Structures are given as C-alpha cells and as structure tokens.
C-alpha cells in the first residue's frame, strides 16, 4: 500500500511537471506490480490446502441433523472439534431447499434453512474462524427444484426467487429446453444445464457470494458425476476456495455380490474427474472405502494392489484422495425409518477403518456420528489416532511400505515414522533395524512410532 501511494504521488508530481512520458512509464510499472500481487494472491487462494497436505476433515452432520437446531448445536462443539486437530468442517447445504436435508435446492440466496437461521449460521462460521477451523459449503448445483410449472407441466421454472431461470436452464433430457446433460442424470428433478453461459455466470456469482460474503472457505461438490468436470474447474477458478472435494460416487466393480480384487478402472474414473477439474479439486476415495470395508471382514489381502501399493485412489494420487469410513449417505444414523445407510462400513470394525485412513496418506475424513454419537471410547480412540498423525508428520503424500496383506492381517510403515497393523492376527514390528514404541491401540489395531 505504501509503495502504491508513493508511486501515485510521483505520478502526480510528474504530471504537474508535464513529463507525461515518465508518468506513463511509472503507471505501467505499478500495473505490473499489482498484477504480480494478484497472481500471488490467486496462487495462495486456489488449492492452498491441497499443497499443504496436512488436512484432516470433519463431516459436521448426518442425515437427520436438520431436526436439531444444527447451527447452534455445532457452535457449541467448535472448541472440541478444533482441539481434536481438524482443519476443515464440512457443513450441510447452507441454502434453502425443498427437502429438509438441503439436497434439493430452490432459493440459493436464502440462508434460512431447517438447520437454522442465517444469524445462527453466521455465528457458527465466525466461531469456527476464531478457532482457525475452515468451513466447507456443500455445493448442490447438479439439480434444482422449480417454483412454477413450465413446459410439459414440470416444475422447471424458477420464478419469484433469485436466479429466476426459465426452462432453458434445465437440460432437455430432464424436461427442459436446454442442451443434453454432460454427465449422469439425477432422476426426479430438473437437472441444471451448465453449458448455458447465463447459468454459469449466475452460479459463479453465487459461489463468490458464499465464498467472500457469507464466509465459506472450502467447497464440496455434490453429485459431481452429473456435469462435466471442466465446469467445476471454471467455478473453482472464479470463486477461489482454499480447498475443494468432489463426490464422484461410481459403483465399484463386482462379480455378482462379490467385490472384484482389481478396482483399477473404478479409481481411474475418479482420477479422470480430478484431471478434468485441472487438478484443482480432490475427490472422495470411494474406491478405498469399498475395498477397506470388505478387507476388514478377514480379506486384508485386498489392501495391496498388483504393484504393491494401496489399491484405491490413495495408491495412485494420494494428494487428491479424500478418504473416509462413512458419511451421511453411506451409513448415517441408526434410525431405520429414515436411515440413509446405502453402503455402510461394518459397525464392529469402525476403528480398524480409522486406524487405516488416519495413519495413511490421503486426506482423511471423520464422520460426525463416530465422533459424537458412538460414545466416549470411540471418540477418544479417534482423537489419539489424529494426534499420532499430526505429531509424526503424516501428510497426504507420505510414503507407504506395505509389510503384510493377508487374510487376517495388514501392516505397513508410513513415512518411515509410523508403523501400524489391523486385523485379528497377532503382530508387532521387527526391532532388528528400528526401535518402535506403541503409540495407541485398540480392538484389532495397533500403531507404533519410532523411539
């Protein structure tokens, strides 16, 4: 600021002296300085957390959270979440939705939802910022619920609310007058046509508002396989979140009801999506989840691929792999009438799952239910694993040397500082070359660190 003020003063003096040539030269220099400053800021903003590699995410809700004054509930827990060592908290969709969970958006500029009022949301975000926790907005832009019936008697117009689009904003294969989908169709709702310039312009304006006015710092893209990854790239470049992750949830490879050992084509599809975003976004590692939840049943040989590496996205591109055990869709809540448990991790092996993802490369995610609803023992065990990860400097790009991967045992050394095992078989690291001390342990898992 002082440098710019000084240059402006010089320009003024020179202009007054009628030396327009020198004045123009100084203005060009100042423009170059500002351009460099802007480029530095952009590099600092977009993907900062991906480069850091030290991220530990917390999913701060489940499928039923909308029932419980959620923004106020989470605000009361911010201190605990920060103390546990998390860096970013994934929040449910923050704007008005036709359904209470937030995944059928309608008025994108209303922050009054079933999770709480705009006032309570902003109070939560402010408290998170005080505790140096980043907030992640759940971005649902694959589909939108209309307010007015349009072509074909379908609610595919959005009259009377901000972003009052007509049928041209809806893809032709979901009842609109737009172009065909550039990805998978989300059935039962008007799917947004991202090929339309006016749609992308409006979405960018909204994302910038969430980022710079509301105060969200990170984005999670819902149903990311529903529209081309190139649009995600455009949105990230325009809104400049610090961290992004996409939900590219594709079915793993099965033979009947049996999971195939080789899931290379599955993880490749996720990696192709990441590439399509210009490598600006990470993605949830559904490959690792699918393999891990089968492995803990006594098939730990699944955790080493044909090249001796971890078999998920983690094994090929760990800095873009966001690992998790369960989330609001795959295994949320235990209430049968409203359970969203579409693909649950075996409940009696949860800690083996966390012992794996919290000691391995990638960007691990902890689910709200496991930290706050499964009792103090599970919470304390997760907290100890996070502490080991942070103390021993395990990052998203840390190396992995798999020692054992057989029926009832998996063991590995991560980053040359941590050794771990999961499974019912008895095992401990050899002391012939390195002295190890037990850092933490529980049912069917143990973690050691170098002395």
Are 88 and 218 within 8 A, CB to CB?
yes
Q: Which of 138, 167, 222, 294 is catalytic?
A: 222
Instruction: Quick: pLDDT tens for 31-51.
Output: 333 333 333 344 356 777 888
| d(C-alpha 82, C-alpha 320), whole Å | 23
Going from the N-terminus, what domains does the chain have, and what CATH number goes with each? 48-397 (3.20.20.80)
Q: Which of 55, 193, 247, 299 is catalytic?
A: 247
Helices marked H in 296-394 — which ranges?
313-316, 350-357, 368-372, 376-391
Using CA of residue 277, residue 281, residue 282, residue 286, what is the dihedral sign?
Answer: negative
Q: Which residues contact 40 (CB under 8 A, 6 or more apart)?
A: none
Look up tokens 């996070």; give the residue. 386
Instruction: Quick: pLDDT tens for 287-327.
Output: 999 999 999 999 999 999 999 999 999 999 999 999 999 99
What pLDDT does residue 65 have? 97
Q: pLDDT tens track of the chain, all 451 residues?
A: 444 444 444 433 333 444 433 333 333 333 333 333 333 344 356 777 888 999 999 999 999 999 999 999 999 999 999 999 999 999 999 999 999 999 999 999 999 999 999 999 999 999 999 999 999 999 999 999 999 999 999 999 999 999 999 999 999 999 999 999 999 999 999 999 999 999 999 999 999 999 999 999 999 999 999 999 999 999 999 999 999 999 999 999 999 999 999 999 999 999 999 999 999 999 999 999 999 999 999 999 999 999 999 999 999 999 999 999 999 999 866 444 455 778 999 999 999 999 999 999 999 999 999 999 999 999 999 999 999 999 999 999 999 999 999 999 999 999 999 999 999 999 999 876 678 999 999 999 999 999 8
247 noted as active-site residue: yes
What pLDDT does residue 26 have? 34
What pLDDT does residue 8 have? 41
What pLDDT does residue 45 have? 64
| d(C-alpha 284, C-alpha 245), whole Å | 7
Length of the chain: 451
What pLDDT does residue 47 have? 73
What pLDDT does residue 433 have? 62
What pLDDT does residue 425 have? 98
| d(C-alpha 288, C-alpha 41), whole Å | 34
């Amino acid at each position: 600021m002082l440098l710019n003020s000084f240059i402006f003063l010089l320009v003024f003096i020179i202009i007054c002296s009628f030396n327009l040539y020198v004045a123009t030269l100084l203005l060009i220099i100042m423009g170059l300085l500002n351009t460099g400053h802007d480029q530095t800021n952009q590099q600092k903003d977009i993907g900062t957390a991906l480069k850091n590699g030290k991220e530990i995410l917390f999913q701060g809700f489940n499928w039923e959270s909308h029932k419980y004054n959620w923004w106020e509930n989470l605000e009361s827990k911010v201190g605990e979440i920060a103390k546990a060592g998390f860096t970013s908290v994934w929040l449910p969709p923050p704007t008005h939705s036709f359904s209470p969970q937030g995944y059928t958006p309608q008025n994108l500029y209303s922050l009054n939802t079933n999770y709480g009022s705009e006032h309570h949301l902003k109070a939560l975000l402010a408290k998170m910022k005080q505790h140096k926790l980043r907030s992640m907005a759940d971005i649902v832009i694959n589909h939108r619920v209309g307010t007015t019936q349009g072509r074909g008697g379908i609610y595919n117009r959005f009259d009377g609310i901000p972003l009052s689009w007509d049928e041209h904003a809806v893809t032709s294969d979901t009842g609109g007058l737009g172009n065909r989908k550039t990805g998978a169709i989300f059935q039962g709702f008007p799917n947004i046509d991202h090929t339309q310039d006016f749609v992308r312009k409006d979405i960018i304006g909204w994302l910038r508002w969430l980022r710079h006015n509301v105060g969200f710092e990170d984005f999670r893209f819902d149903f990311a396989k529903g529209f081309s990854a190139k649009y995600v790239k455009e949105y990230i470049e325009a809104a400049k979140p610090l961290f992004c992750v996409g939900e590219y949830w594709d079915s793993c490879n099965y033979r009947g009801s049996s999971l195939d050992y080789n899931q290379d084509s599955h993880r490749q599809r996720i990696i192709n999506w990441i590439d399509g975003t210009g490598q600006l976004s990470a993605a949830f590692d559904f490959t690792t989840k699918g393999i891990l939840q089968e492995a803990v049943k006594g098939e730990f040989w699944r955790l080493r691929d044909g090249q001796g590496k971890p078999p998920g996205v983690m094994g090929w591109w760990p800095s873009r792999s966001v690992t998790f055990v369960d989330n609001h869709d795959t295994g949320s809540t235990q209430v049968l009438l409203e359970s969203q448990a579409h693909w649950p991790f075996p409940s009696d092996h949860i800690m083996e799952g966390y012992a794996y993802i919290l000691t391995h490369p990638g960007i691990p995610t902890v689910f709200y239910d496991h930290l706050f609803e499964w009792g103090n023992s599970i919470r304390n065990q997760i907290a100890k694993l996070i502490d080991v990860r942070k103390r021993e400097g395990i990052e998203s790009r840390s190396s992995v040397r798999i020692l054992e991967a057989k029926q009832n045992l998996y063991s590995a050394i991560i980053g040359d500082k941590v050794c771990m095992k999961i499974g019912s078989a008895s095992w401990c690291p050899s002391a012939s070359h390195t002295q190890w001390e037990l850092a933490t342990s529980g049912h069917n898992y143990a973690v050691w660190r170098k002395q």
